[in-house]
Structure 1
Amino acid sequence: MEELRAARPAHLDAPVDAVTRAQELNHAFAQPRQPRRKASPSRSLRPMWGLGLAGAVTAAAVVIAGTQGGTPSPPQAPAAASPSASVVLDARTVLLAAASQAEAQPDETGEWWHTASVQRSLMPIRGEHDYYVYMLDKNEMWTPYAPGGDQISRSQRLGFGFPGPEDEAAWRQAGSPSRVFGEAPKPAASGSPGLGTFPIDKEPGKARTNRSPLVDGDKVFWLGENVTMKDLLSLPDDPKRLKAWLLRSYSGHDTESTSVPMTSEAWLYRVATGLIIDMPVRPKVRGAAFRMLAELKTVRVVDNVKDMDGRTGTAVSMEEKTDGGVLLNRLLFDRETGRALQSDSVVVKPGGHQAGLPVGAVWNAVTITSSGWADERP
């Protein structure tokens, strides 16, 4: 042993930088587990990462392999992490850098704030051949700068796609039906809790446009409370003041339900990421939101993550306990501009509405295809 120790080259004892070590750890521990083979492809959705990584680095090292190009199309099979695919980074450093990039963007306004996105919702299809599909929906919104106008929305069902080739093969074995029946939780108002089914057609549906007056004539978004365009454009650009402004609306519960408790940190994460993704705020305010996220203790940041359109970005994430399960809620953003690319939820522990889904499955994703000011109405 002494002879072996003496023969060890000196350069092997040199310190390794954090990014290289993270890459090596990801490669060592994030290899996907081989799915168990069954006679029926009933559980064919492939996990994107194995749980072996969770204890060594973080469960946030997740990669999504999506479609290429700007035109919405069915998503491809989820891919496993590779050495260069996902790197766990220091959250504070990355988010402060993103804040600087966000603050450097042009400060402008227009007649309308316009956003366009594609939502993908994972649905199990039960039958002789069980498989999964992504239900695809395109959504656009135009919000007027001036009070007193209408908010205009346009939505279109784009059909369904397949998370992986095994799911498409099972669909073909089932006769390639043009209509499938997805399984989803019944609405609370139905009076009969549990799962129900509803039809999803393969072909895109018609686009539907709706116009509705602004709430109270001037409220445009919800940010802990209903806010006007003037409110949004005058938000504090200091992270401490912005945090204090937002926490005025925090009451100890979830943003969607008063019966579900939520910590102030989780509440701030949800509201701040919504601000970054959807809202027409000044560049310095978006930068302040990133700086506020950097101060949260439970966020994680992973670099080189692909969204459903194949764009590479950085993911800031926080775990959320659900009814019997755990989700990883993520915001993917472009580090060069601080602009949002996608928000999604990844299954960490199946349970509740995600019961039966594989670990690592992207349960829901909203991919931002465009956002910004426009001077022409739809």
Structure 2
Amino acid sequence: MSAIPASLPLRNDLIGEEPYGAPQLDVPVCLNVNENPYAPEPAVCDSIARRVREIAPTLNRYPDREHIELRRAFSTYLERESGAKLDVDELWGANGSNEIMLQLFQAFGGPGRIALGCDPTYSMYPEYARDTFTEWRLAHRNPDFTLNVERTVEAIREVKPAMVLITSPNNPTGTPLDMADLERLLAACETASVAGAPEGVHPVLVVDEAYVEFRNPGTPSAVTLIKDHPNLAVSRTMSKAFAFAGARVGYLAANRGIIDCVRIVRMPYHLSAVTQAAAIAAFEHTDEQLSRVAHLRETREATAAWLREQTYKGEPLKVAESESNFLLFGGSFDDRDRIFKELLKRGVLIRVVGPDGWMRVCMGTDEEMARFREALVEVLRLVEA
């Protein structure tokens, strides 16, 4: 709980609000924030240290405001990872994809503007909207968490948002977005109006691909559509699959016009020289950084199958279909807070998030997942007794 004195002139709309954040607890098994559980290899650490050492004597100077070398690294990586050939001016970096999203809200949101999401979805989106005085509206997903395309297209036409936010794979459910459905959303955005904007202004469709490297092999990425769709913005991150959460590096792929809009609102020299150096070093070891992704994907599939074999009050657990590095499971937990606390007592931290009755677990190491399975069996027996 925050302890903000009543004497401080906090904005009226923020009174009573709590800071966002998943629990940060010192427990043996942390499976709640969707990190890659495997540390960078020693060779990667050595390259990061070398790169940082090289730029250390220049830290009395501001960094490259446009981070050109890093944007070239983004371009090289996306061509390899998704087959998309993007120019430097179609890419932009920031301190995690959270800052990318905030910059998009700063550029396209604001008083009188509307952002549309599809719930259940990432819980930070309404906070970005709140912080930028943007109205937040929702089009509900289907019961199986797939996108209700018809409902979303109808909402785009009726609500007239400046931004439409789609997460693929979705957080907290892991649900991917079919490319044909994405094309339908793009078509809707490219003809829809924006409330309060002049005629001819259309919504920006933002696709958040924070977990996209965990998708099933052969599944295309939204970045392959950028050249043909000037109102498409795709957010990526190095935090998840790339095992770089502590470095805080996210990036945006979009038409140059969108990038230039974001450049208007970015803080001066927002990306430090140290961050840029570390990220470039990590891209020099792309194979090592992504070496565990296939195994984590296999762990996800094995864990999903195991969870579906477990029961709660005589019924099998439900598991949402996922192409991320986490699973939403349960569906019928009538006291998920108790389950969370009992798991925590056993040294296992997962997340109470998503619709009522559901919980989310991130894929950890083999040893961590074994401990999770053991603890969950104990806890389910306990709460059913």
TM-score normalised by structure 1 residue count? 0.21
Between Structure 1 and Structure 2, which shows a larger proportion of strand residues? 1
TM-score relative to the length of structure 2: 0.21
> Larger % of helix: which?
2
Q: Which has the larger radius of gyration?
A: 1
